[in-house]
């Protein structure tokens, strides 16, 4: 990538000031996302390389297309200066195109515009979407934990957890040690959003700034975690969530439930002594219940582990194994667990994920809910009376 020349007749603009009325322009920005592919020329059918993604200078993030990019590839985070970039409109928003006339070269991060944090647009958790950058946000940290990962040949410590404001919760990952502590209120600028397991995730790296907020009006962590249950229909519409709460009645169990066997390496279910990843293994006995919970607006699956299954059903793993020796039919244990749970009402809190089969919750807590039948009957009678002409 050669050093870009800077003709004086081409104006340098910030990305927030891009306009299709002013083109070509000179821009400087950091590549946030980049995807390389090839397109077919209409003229002769030949293939032409194209790099597309998002470019940010801290004032805004815009789409870019780069025709015939360097063969060595461009990494995310690279800062470039483009002289003679064309400004076009895509779905009502400006984007830049690097053509054969555009001279693109490396630039220093120090050349990016200095932005006052207060001038960066303010966002809430609900408004965040993948690929967003150039915003500030105020959050309450709910959970923070560290773990070590391998990046290439380097071992790095990252910090991950859960944060929230009044509009919702979001998972975060920090590649820098900002000394984050659960319960703190923080103002974050310079982070970006990526899609992880089909959900937005907030990512902090060395470009981000974190400021502790004293006297914040954000609710306390226990209040945010104890938010009232949402309807299952709403959870489905939102695609799950990092910390959701629902309440409903057990209407079924999905297989495999009851006494199951897991691969000792990956913990996946083993069937006939075979793990779909590691082949023939000696499965380890476990107890689980894949509970179908229904609240009248929809249904979802709750993957209850051994501890919750034992507590809710009153059947221990040891007892299940003993019964299996007496009567070698694992379906009988599943049927008994269902009999003990069916029709009972539970409040579930945990992480929800939506796929082609609906929403599945990995529970942090499952608690029985006592139903006042007389009060429910009175409420139903009152509603029926209000509906009469």
Query: Three-class SS of residue 341?
Result: helix
Helix axes of 317-326 and 330-341: crossing angle, nearest 10 degrees: 130
In CATH terms, are 117-223 and 232-373 the same topology?
yes
Q: What is the mean pLDDT of residues 249-275?
A: 91
Which residue did the predictor score with more confidence, 133 or 70?
70
How confident is the prediction for the chain on average, in pLDDT?
87
Domain boundaries, the chain: 15-111, 117-223, 232-373
Number of H helices, E strands in the chain: 6, 20
Most confident of the ranges 26-35, 59-68, 117-126, 260-269: 260-269
Secondary structure letter of residue 335 according to DSSP: H
**Predicted pLDDT of residue 382:** 73
Question: What stretches of the chain show up as alpha helix (H) in DSSP?
Answer: 221-225, 232-237, 306-313, 317-326, 330-341, 373-387
Overall CATH class of domain 15-111: mainly beta
Q: Residue 352 has which token pair?
A: 């929800």
Sequence-distant (6+) residues with CB within 8 A of 100 are 67, 68
- Tell me the pLDDT tens digit for each residue of 202-216: 998 877 889 999 877
C-alpha–C-alpha distance, residues 87 and 23, integer Å: 5
What confidence score (pLDDT) does residue 65 get?
A: 92
Angstrom CA distances, 302 to 243, 314, 315, stand at: 13, 18, 18
Closest CA to 172 of 186, 156, 151: 186
Put simply, whether the predicted model's pTM sits higher than 0.85 gets the answer no
Identify the architecture of domain 232-373 in CATH: Beta Barrel (2.40)
Cβ–Cβ < 8 Å for 335, 252: no
- Of the candidate CATH numbers 3.30.360.10, 2.60.120.200, 3.30.530.50, 2.40.50.140, the domain formed by 117-223 belongs to 2.40.50.140
Residues 97 and 64 sit within 8 Å (Cβ to Cβ): yes
- Give the pLDDT of residue 388: 57
* Enclosing H/E stretch for 184: none
What residue spans of 218-262 are helical by DSSP H?
A: 221-225, 232-237
| Whole-number pLDDT of residue 131 | 73
Contact 341, 294 (CB under 8 A): no
Torsion angle defined by CA atoms of residues 270, 271, 276 and 277, in that order, rounded to the nearest 10 degrees: 30
Q: Say if residues 320 and 310 touch (Cβ distance below 8 Å).
A: no
Q: How confident is the model at residue 292 (pLDDT cuts 50, 70, 90)?
A: very high
Question: In the structure encoding, which two tokens stand for residue 323, read together?
Answer: 């019964």
Q: Would the pLDDT of 7 be above 60? A: no
Strand 168-174 and strand 199-204: the pairing is parallel
Q: Region 10-25: what's the mean pLDDT?
A: 90
Instruction: Report pLDDT for 116.
Output: 65
What distance in Å separates the CA atoms of residue 340 and residue 179, rounded to the nearest whole number?
A: 46
């Amino acid at each position: 990538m050669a050093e870009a020349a800077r003709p004086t007749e081409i104006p340098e603009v910030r990305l927030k000031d891009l306009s299709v009325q002013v083109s070509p322009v000179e821009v400087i920005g950091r590549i946030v996302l980049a995807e390389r592919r090839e397109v077919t020329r209409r003229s002769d059918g030949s293939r032409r390389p194209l790099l597309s993604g998002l470019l940010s200078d801290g004032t805004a993030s815009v789409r870019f297309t780069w025709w015939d990019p360097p063969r060595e590839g461009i990494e995310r985070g690279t800062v470039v200066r483009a002289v003679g970039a064309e400004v076009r409109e895509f779905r009502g928003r400006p984007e830049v195109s690097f053509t054969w006339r555009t001279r693109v070269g490396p630039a220093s991060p120090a050349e990016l515009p200095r932005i006052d944090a207060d001038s960066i647009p303010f966002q809430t958790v609900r408004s965040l979407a993948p690929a967003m950058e150039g915003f500030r946000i105020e959050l309450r940290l709910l959970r923070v934990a560290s773990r070590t990962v391998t990046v290439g040949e380097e071992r790095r410590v990252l910090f991950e957890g859960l944060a929230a404001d009044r509009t919702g919760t979001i998972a975060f990952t920090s590649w820098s040690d900002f000394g984050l502590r659960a319960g703190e209120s923080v103002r974050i600028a310079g982070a970006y959003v990526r899609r992880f397991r089909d959900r937005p995730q907030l990512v902090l790296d060395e470009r981000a700034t974190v400021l502790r907020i004293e006297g914040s009006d954000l609710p306390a962590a226990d209040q945010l975690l104890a938010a009232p249950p949402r309807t299952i229909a709403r959870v489905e519409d939102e695609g799950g969530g990092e910390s959701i709460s629902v309440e409903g009645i057990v209407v079924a169990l999905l297989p495999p439930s009851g006494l199951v066997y897991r691969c000792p390496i990956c913990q996946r279910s083993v069937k006939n002594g075979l793990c779909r990843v590691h082949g023939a293994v000696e499965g380890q006995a476990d107890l689980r219940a894949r509970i179908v919970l229904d609240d009248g607006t929809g249904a979802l699956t709750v993957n209850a582990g051994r501890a919750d299954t034992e507590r809710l059903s009153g059947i221990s793993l040891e007892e299940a194994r003993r019964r299996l020796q007496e009567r070698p039919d694992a379906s009988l244990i599943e049927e008994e667990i269902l009999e003990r749970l069916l029709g009972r009402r539970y409040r579930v809190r945990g992480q929800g994920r939506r796929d082609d089969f609906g929403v599945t919750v990995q529970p942090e807590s499952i608690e029985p809910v006592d139903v006042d039948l007389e009060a429910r009957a009175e409420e139903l009678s009152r509603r029926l009376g209000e509906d009469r002409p």
